[in-house]
Amino acid sequence: MRILVLGDLMGRAGREAAIKNIPELRVKLKLDFVGVNAENASHGFGLGPDMADALFAAGTDVITLGNHSWDRREIIPYIAREKRLLRPLNYPAGTPGQGAALVTLADGRKVLLAQAMGRLYMEPLDCPFRATEEVLSRHKLGVTTHAILLDIHAEATSEKMAYAHAFDGRVSGVTGTHTHVPTADQQILPGGTAFQADLGMCGDYDSVIGMQKEPATGRFIRKMPGDKLTPAEGPATLCGAFIETDDSTGLARRIEPVRLGGRLSQAMPVL
């Protein structure tokens, strides 16, 4: 199975880059499944229902959110009915939406994508390890589903690495989101799980993690609130990872970076 996972869509630049490129990448890379993190798609804060619809129409199979899940209040009734839009699964019981989605592809194969949010330097949610364990108790790789993907939305690289090792051999891939900087640690862990600590953002990298440089830089210099943070809208780099799995086991055969457009060095898997 060929899978593409994209990092945080940052504002209009990232959103439009994803909508433009996903249809072409589905053909070029012969993709079976596309997962996208879109918690920053709406002016850097949250996701609007119309934006989710556009991403699904472009060929996204499942969208994940994160700590900005509820910044757009209109998403609450939408996420309650749209099973392909996920918020972190370790939110407290009773939170709208769900943290995992099992998708059946056109050829009958099944893919599970689940998202957890880290707790180090983040909100004090329920334990992401225990919450993920509960999901995996109901889904067995290579038995009930052909691929299992985990999105760990977290600040600390150490927490992301620990999370990946905790589930190595039981899932196809663990990829991190949230920090907006792509890491160069793509690897297949000893148990056969693909891993990358952070996919990076899809957005304008002539910025401070996607925000316009001057207001963001001023906050560090003056150490007090300044101008409103606004997403940079220059040419975007689409950032993510390509994962290929073995259908018989569900484990990863390869993981490679995807970087397309914008300022960063380009990277594209060769089939």
pLDDT per position as a tens digit, 132-145:
999 999 999 999 99
Q: Report yes or no on 141 lying in a domain.
A: yes
Q: Give the separation between CA 262 and CA 193, rounded to whole angstroms.
A: 30
Which pLDDT value is given to residue 161? 98
Q: Report yes or no on 271 lying in a domain.
A: no
Q: Report yes or no on 188 lying in a domain.
A: yes
- Asked if 126 and 118 touch (Cβ cutoff 8 Å), the reply is no
Which pLDDT value is given to residue 226? 74
Q: Report yes or no on 150 lying in a domain.
A: yes
Which ranges of the chain have pLDDT less than 50? none
Task: Indicate the pTM of the whole model.
Answer: 0.96
Q: Report yes or no on 116 lying in a domain.
A: yes
Say which CATH number the domain at 110 has.
Answer: 3.60.21.10
Q: Report yes or no on 265 lying in a domain.
A: no
Range of the domain at 45: 2-260
Q: Tally the domains of the chain.
A: 1
Which pLDDT value is given to residue 227? 79
Collect all residues with Cβ–Cβ distance below 8 Å to 129 and sequence separation of at least 6: 116, 163, 166
Q: Give the separation between CA 262 and CA 242, rounded to whole angstroms.
A: 19
Q: Report yes or no on 239 lying in a domain.
A: yes
| Catalytic residue list contains 68 | yes
Which pLDDT value is given to residue 261? 98
Q: Report yes or no on 269 lying in a domain.
A: no
Segment 88-119, tens digit of pLDDT: 999 999 999 999 999 999 999 999 999 999 99
CA atoms within 13 A on the CB side of 129: 12
> Which of 43, 68, 139, 153 is an active site residue?
68
